[in-house]
Chains A and B, each alone.
Chain A
Amino acid sequence: MNEFSRDIGILKSNPAYEDVVATEFRSEWNVA
């Protein structure tokens, strides 16, 4: 997502995974 967004000119920075994904909810999606 980051690289693609930079390639098409809609993103100039490189946000970290934690800036994009709400990792505070990790326990919710790790439940199988």
Chain B
Amino acid sequence: MKIAPVPGALGPGVNFGVTAAKALEERKIDGFWANGMGAEVAVKRGIGTVVLDIRRGDGPAGCFNYTMASIAATDALIARSPDIAAAAIRAIVKTQAALRANPERASEVGKTLFPVSEATLIAELIRRDLPYYDASISQDFVAG
């Protein structure tokens, strides 16, 4: 097995999941570890199968924390501009709250980020992942 970057997945504005599914369809890769969008596109197009759904219990329990989106900042930025760091956290918390209240709002943003076929999937993906929307970082995540 050779683990390598997905062709074309690097760079600003590139959606990794969409690009990974396309690379799979074009047989540039044999598989990928990606987000819900990548997996959903691959399955919907009939070009891939979900082998491991870590968040829903596949694999060793410790693998749950292998998928952990986060925002990192330097200690220097936090010391210099704590207001900016706090504002970033508030933005995440408020966005998650807005999506919990109405997952369809993801479609508004999705239309600006994804091709039409993928944009129609985003609200359902968000709805499915709502139980995991939490802006905090657990002790288990840091230790594991």
Contacts and interface: CB of A to CB of B under 8 A. Distances in A.
Interface of A: 1-4, 15, 17, 20-22, 24-26, 28-32
A25 B89 contact: yes
Nearest to A19: B142
Contacts of B137: 20-21
Interface residues of B, number: 21
User: How would you classify the secondary structure of chain B's contact residues: helix, strand, loop or mixed?
Assistant: helix
A2 B93 contact: no
10 contacts: A1-B144, A2-B142, A4-B66, A17-B143, A22-B85, A25-B82, A26-B136, A28-B135, A29-B136, A30-B136
Nearest to A3: B144
Nearest to B65: A1
Given A29-B89, A30-B136, 4 more contacts: A1-B143, A2-B142, A4-B66, A25-B89
A31 B85 CA distance: 16
A4 B143 CA distance: 9
Interface of B: 65-66, 68, 73, 78, 82, 85-86, 89-90, 92-93, 97, 135-137, 139, 141-144
A15 B142 CA distance: 9
A17 B139 contact: yes
B86 A28 contact: yes
Contact of A29 (B82, B93, B139, B142): B93
Contacts of A21: 137, 142
Contact of A4 (B90, B97, B144): B144
Given A22-B78, A22-B85, A28 B142 contact: no
A26 B93 CA distance: 12
